[in-house]
Structure 1
């Protein structure tokens, strides 16, 4: 986004007000940005921030839908990187309303567009939110879609036990190496390779107690399964 756009400046000021606990001021600034928006691109940006300030799940969904609709109307490279988070926001809104099948559909769309998000912390945040949404809503989907993007059950059991042990004894090094690959797992072959590589690094270093080293070998075997 162009930081010099007047509506972007208003939204930045609104975020600052929100961070300072001035919710009414934040909402007023976002509303002013919406009122001043000159085209669908600027309306898309401001609708995103207005969605954050709504008091009901229904209104949150309405503004997230407005944001997505405006992005569709723009339809060019300016909004390409928006789509992963736009779909995540739609998924979260439907999840909040208890409509988990719709939520899963949007988290799946977000997974398909995950590569469009900018690299770095923002891209990582999107992947983590997508993976969490897919796991939380998988039971509401049918057939093959129910496991799309999620870590399969065998891998889930193996790595969860390891994470529990590492958390208990504060092994931040093992957690730091493996959690990003697990939290961002969207079910692709590349994700499986990334998770296996992270687990393998811990295994090869051999600093774990014997029992955990054995569990790690089981996890590696589970991740290797197609």
Structure 2
């Protein structure tokens, strides 16, 4: 997990399949603190999936692969890949069910991570824009520990970026 990660662990679970299990194993490795090995394994999974792989898997791998990056620009690039993959899930599975419904719960975290990444690279306008999108997307979160954690992280980043806790 990023040392500066804004979002708690957890979140919507992708459909249960072999790739999801493999991704989950690497997520556990990451959460156990082995960022380098997790980065290596996530990179291998990304290469295996390719640009045409299942977009929900690509979203999940890119989302967590961003957490393994040392360079803020690399982290931002992976956060952007995760968002593009989530948008591909929505485009392929419009109608609200299945994976499109699952990915909706990722958007608050995806936009929050993008806001934090943009802030780290000095892009304040883009950081605030994605923070506003994260705040709006929080309506898709359940009233549970994960949802509470994401909403709290949005509030903390708002305080850090604006000093007021609310976006202008």
TM class by shorter-chain length? 0.7 to 0.9
Equivalent residue number for residue 148 of structure 2? 124
CA RMSD in angstroms, aligned pairs only: 2.1
Equivalent residue number for residue 63 of structure 2? 48
TM score, norm. by length of structure 2 = 0.76
Task: Please state if 1:31 is matched with 2:43.
Answer: yes
Equivalent residue number for residue 82 of structure 2? 67
Task: Please state if 1:137 is matched with 2:161.
Answer: yes
Cα distance in 1, alignment partners of residues 136 and 161 from structure 2: 16
* 1:102-130 per-position Cα deviation (integer Å, ceiling 9, x unaligned): 11111111111111123201101111111
Q: 1:118 to 1:34 in 2, by over 3 A?
A: farther
Choose 72-81 or 119-128, whichever is displaced more. Answer: 72-81
1:51, CA displacement in angstroms?
Answer: 0.6
Cα distance in 1, alignment partners of residues 24 and 79 from structure 2: 18
Contact 1:92 1:103 in 2 (8 A): yes
Unaligned runs of 5+ in 1: 140-146, 151-185, 188-226
TM score, norm. by length of structure 1 = 0.58
Q: 1:12 to 1:91 in 2, by over 3 A?
A: same
Cα distance in 1, alignment partners of residues 14 and 161 from structure 2: 35
Task: Please state if 1:6 is matched with 2:18.
Answer: yes
* 1:197-219 per-position Cα deviation (integer Å, ceiling 9, x unaligned): xxxxxxxxxxxxxxxxxxxxxxx
Equivalent residue number for residue 183 of structure 1? none
Cα distance in 2, alignment partners of residues 78 and 19 from structure 1: 22
Alignment match of 2:31 (pick from 19, 26, 40): 19
Cα distance in 1, alignment partners of residues 32 and 142 from structure 2: 27
Task: Give the length in aligned residue pairs.
Answer: 144
Higher helix proportion (structure 1 or 2): 1
Task: Please state if 1:100 is matched with 2:129.
Answer: no
Q: Following TM superposition, where does structure 1 have runs of at least 4 consecutive aligned residues deviating by more than 3 angstroms?
A: none
Task: Please state if 1:89 is matched with 2:101.
Answer: no
Cα distance in 2, alignment partners of residues 20 and 73 from structure 1: 30
- Whose relative contact order is higher, 1 or 2, with alpha carbons under 8 Å and at least 6 apart? 2
